[in-house]
Amino acid sequence: RSPVPAPQALEDQYSPSRWSPRLDRDAVIQAHLAATAAGTQRARASAQTSLHVPYGDGEREKLDIYFPAEHCGTFPLLVYIHGGYWQCLSKDESGFAALPLVSQGVAVVAVGYDTAPKGHMDAMVLQVRRSLAFLVQQYSGIRGIFLCGHSAGAHLAAMVLSTDWTEYGVVPDIKGAVLVSGVYDLEPILHTYVNDALSMSREVAQRNSPMLCISPAVPAATGCEVLVAVAQHDSPEFRRQSQEYGQALRAAGWSVSLLDLAGVDHFDIIEKLSEESYVLTQVGEELLPSL
């Protein structure tokens, strides 16, 4: 394992907005909010939607579902889990990836979950797992599930890959996961401002670190393609985390591709999923079964 940087260096390493060459820190975050919100509005205007579908009783335990026009009740499903360092953003600006996908016959779900300080790490992981179990029970025509998460959402998607589904009464048919600029070891987060809202103990961080929860690939998992993507202008720590997690999954027998995307930062690496021509959109579409 690589040495952990000193505390102030860690603060910088885990502040993704400091690493963008495009804009200053506040501007890059504002631009991200604007881009994802605009993409979501476009998707809502052009897709058939079921918004705010409850998968549980909690205030934020809701899903936004974007259906393809011609689906006859059967479709592959992409489940998108938003980032925001487990403490901001929501499903409401997380439908931006739907536009190119629904036109390809794929349904897209944006998952809501309780962010900190209300939500605790254990609870968020549980909510995302429960949302998948709900979808499988609710829609019998799903032909394979694909996970996509960005930043903190990539962490939650990776935790879904480590789920013991026996407790849920269903086994989702997860065919692939696109993990974008994620955090897979929560230990360094304990020493940064990010934990102020999360209040994680070391035990909670360990229990919810995908890096420490990798199960050997069971036969079902060998058919699951995992794509670990990272941006050229992510911080060295974010890049290290992606590389080490991808290698650890591969060592456990999972099918993993590492994608290092040039010319993008922590934010536009995911925003561009609203564009048909974007490399990550196209790679994601290749992961989906031939429709």
Asked if residue 13 belongs to a domain, the reply is yes
Phi, psi of 218 (to 5 degrees): -75, 165
What lies within 8 Å, CB to CB, of 68 at 6+ separation is 47, 48, 75, 102, 103, 104, 105, 106, 107
Per-residue pLDDT at 7 = 66
Asked if residue 108 belongs to a domain, the reply is yes
- How many CB atoms within 10 Å of residue 16? 24
Which burial class, exposed, middle or buried, applies to 225 when counting CB atoms under 10 A from its CB (0-12, 13-18, 19+)? middle
Closest CA to 153 of 179, 114, 120: 179
Mean pLDDT score across all residues of the chain: 92
- pTM score above 0.85: yes
Asked if residue 268 belongs to a domain, the reply is yes
State the CATH number of the domain containing residue 163.
Answer: 3.40.50.1820
Per-residue pLDDT reduced to its tens digit, 6-19 = 668 999 999 999 99
Asked if residue 1 belongs to a domain, the reply is no
How many Å apart are CA 244 and CA 251, to the nearest integer? 10
Give the largest Cα separation in the chain, rounded. Answer: 55
Domain housing 32: 7-287
Q: Kindly indicate the confidence band of residue 70, based on its pLDDT and cuts at 50, 70 and 90.
A: confident
Asked if residue 173 belongs to a domain, the reply is yes
Closest CA to 90 of 65, 62, 131, 66: 62
Q: Kindly indicate the confidence band of residue 291, based on its pLDDT and cuts at 50, 70 and 90.
A: very low
Closest CA to 64 of 32, 31, 35, 36: 36
Per-residue pLDDT reduced to its tens digit, 105-139 = 899 999 999 999 999 999 999 999 999 999 999 99
Total domains in the chain come to 1
Per-residue pLDDT at 79 = 96
Asked if residue 159 belongs to a domain, the reply is yes
Please give the single-letter amino acid code of residue 228: V
Per-residue pLDDT reduced to its tens digit, 131-161 = 999 999 999 999 999 999 999 999 999 999 9
How many Å apart are CA 158 and CA 155, to the nearest integer? 5
Asked if residue 2 belongs to a domain, the reply is no
Asked if residue 251 belongs to a domain, the reply is yes
Residues 221 and 175 sit within 8 Å (Cβ to Cβ)? no
The residues annotated as belonging to the active site are 151, 234, 266
Alpha helices in the chain (DSSP H): 7-13, 25-46, 98-102, 121-138, 152-161, 194-198, 202-207, 219-222, 236-251, 268-271, 279-287
Taking residues 187-205, report their average pLDDT.
97
Cis ω before 117 (30° cut-off from 0): yes
